[in-house]
Structure 1
């Protein structure tokens, strides 16, 4: 692979919210996928292959994946409040990337932000719906915490991992009470 060919490695981390597929390139973590059971995992790997032009290789514990695996597992266990990972933003661009970068740096553990508030932070005060679209296209959920974006009236809003997963992540951060079961 010394000819400049892209490298994509992946593994699955199991946690309280179910299996998460983590994929990384030499640049950093590039994708996190919820509910990574075989069919979902295989579709996600196909999308990565198509978008990045490389065949993803399963490589748990590799140099590219060791830190993401360790940090995601620690976060899900309630032992980590802030990720310190290199991120590969190549799956997202433009306004969506701008919104997600603001989310990653400006909305800390244990806090939430409204869609409209996040839109104002990136200079688009009328862009709440566009922020919602950015959340829906987030290739790095959990690490780029789209679960922390809620409706201005206190509603949860949408979530690509499902509302129960969003509730669990917000409970983990102390924003919502722990689920009863």
Structure 2
């Protein structure tokens, strides 16, 4: 039995980075609101390691609000051309300010300005309103670096369960599952 699934994740993710044409770091993020109603959307993996899988968002948008109210999530990486997917489940925690600041600083200036201009996931009566807000933020920060907005940061999914799925002919798929224990990881197989 393996004691750590992260080496396998690194191997599969490395292969996807070589072969996937667009956004090999794209992952489906599933959340649930306080009443338990699910929601799923695509986000981009921006960091990973034994402490978890990191993505960034507006904390005042739908996903941010759901994660703050119910800090549990599931991730799905699906690389169709490789015939592989990885499912990750676990609790969610905010990243620290230094980590969020460093990532925000690495973004393009327009992406930084967009984080200030957007009321993410809220109704927008017409595109011109957002474009006007963007222009106002652009003017506000014309002579300075764009700081990270207080409502914008990252989350880390701390995996408790990781499943590696490989497509096989006749739907006889190969599924390996790792479950976190108090002493490390247990590995097992699942029926296709």
TM-score of Structure 1 vs Structure 2, range by shorter chain:
under 0.3
Q: Relative contact order, CA 8 A, sep 6+: which one is greater?
A: 2
Of Structure 1 and Structure 2, which has the larger fraction of its residues in strand? 2
- Largest Rg, 1 or 2: 2
TM-score (norm. length: structure 2): 0.26
TM-score of the pair, normalised by structure 1: 0.27
Larger helix fraction of residues: 1
